[in-house]
Amino acid sequence: MAGTTTIGGDLTVNRLGFGAMRLTGRGIWGHPADRDNAVAVLRRAVELGTTFIDTADSYGPHVNEELIKRALHPYADDLVIATKGGLLRTGPDQWVPLGRPAYLRQAVETSLVRLGVERIDLYQLHRVDPEVPLEDQLGVLGELRDEGKIRHIGLSEVGVDQVRAARAVVPVVSVQNLYNLANRGHEDVLEHCEANGIAFIPWFPVATGDLARPGGVLDAAAAEYGATPAQLALAWLLRRSPVVLPIPGTSSLAHLEENTAAAGVELAPEAFEKLSALA
């Protein structure tokens, strides 16, 4: 119901994806407490119409990609599994950028094995390593694309200047940044993506913070639409731009159902403007 968007000119997906990061242990470390539940959540997401699942080799690490293969392999023809590399895990809640070309090549090769695919449809540089020239980090991803191991290349947590610099090295089809109704610090990046036909994938998309306080505009709008604040936050993102591809994540089947239902919430222009004025 939220419509579709096309990534890189040839990957058409439904505009409400699923972020699989939470299907791990605490601190995004180790296995989830209930692996069968994690598998059930992934399978239910696909049953509900999800055709875009986002993961990374650092989620677990490695655990998330393995779970996706266990739950969904062999993959449906219309299912896009996007993964990321470039962050080294040294412990729970610890993330260290590592963009050396040899490491990134190894990351891609091992993700291919864990996911059980010959080519990764969308491979995203998880973080730009400030200690390694950007052209080296993206250069090796470009080589892997030329070798047929990556279909498209994306970026994560970057500014407009970095997107421009990256596009001078390789075609960039997506940007995944922190962005939601309560936090719009990357508005300029979204506008740049929209102007250049680049998919914008907001992570942490359902955050509402103090905006959901009782009696506030978001609370009143939720009551009017018979929706939850989280559903309105997702509906606002879907209304914000046709290049936006939210990836709400959860380890709860109930929350998955709730988030997916947001695709059916169509905000009126007045409601969209009121919500836009909140931040």
Q: In whole angstroms, give the CA distance from residue 199 to residue 174.
A: 4
Residue 137 tokens, joined? 């980090």
Residue 153 is part of a domain; what is its CATH number? 3.20.20.100
For residue 83, tell me if it sits in a domain.
yes
Q: Which of 59, 75, 103, 123 is catalytic?
A: 59
| Residue for token pair 């018979």 | 226
Active site residue 75: no
The whole-chain average pLDDT of the chain stands at 96
> Is 227 inside a domain boundary?
no
Look at strands 18-19 and 174-178 and give their pairing.
unpaired
Mean pLDDT over 130-134 rounds to 98
Task: Establish if 154 belongs to a structural domain.
Answer: yes
pLDDT reported for residue 278? 84
Residue 3 included in any domain: no
Asked whether residue 155 is domain-assigned, the answer is yes
Task: Establish if 216 belongs to a structural domain.
Answer: no
pLDDT range class, residue 212, cuts 50, 70, 90: confident
pTM (two decimals): 0.97
Percent over 90 (pLDDT), the chain: 91
Q: What is the residue-wise DSSP string for the chain?
A: ---EEEETTTEEEES--EE-TTSSSGGGBS--S-HHHHHHHHHHHHHTT--EEE--TTTBTTHHHHHHHHHHPSPPTT-EEEEEE-EEEEETTEEEE---HHHHHHHHHHHHHHHT-SSEEEEEESS--TTS-HHHHHHHHHHHHHTTSEEEEEEES--HHHHHHHHTTS---EEEEE--SS--TTHHHHHHHHHHT-EEEEESTT--GGGG-TTSHHHHHHHHHT--HHHHHHHHHHHH-TTB------S-HHHHHHHHHGGG----HHHHHHHHTT-
pLDDT higher than 90, residue 43: yes
- pLDDT of the residue at 85: 98
Residue 228 lies in a domain: no
HEC profile of 106-139 = HHHHHHHHHHCCCCEEEEEECCCCCCCCHHHHHH
pLDDT given at position 251: 97
Decide if 164 is inside a domain: yes
Note the pLDDT tens digit of each residue in 154-192.
999 999 999 999 999 999 999 999 999 999 999 999 999
CA distance 184 to 38: 30
Structure tokens at 178: 């922190």
| Number of compact structural domains in the chain | 1
Its domain, for residue 199, covers 11-207+241-250
Confidence class for position 216, pLDDT limits 50, 70, 90: confident
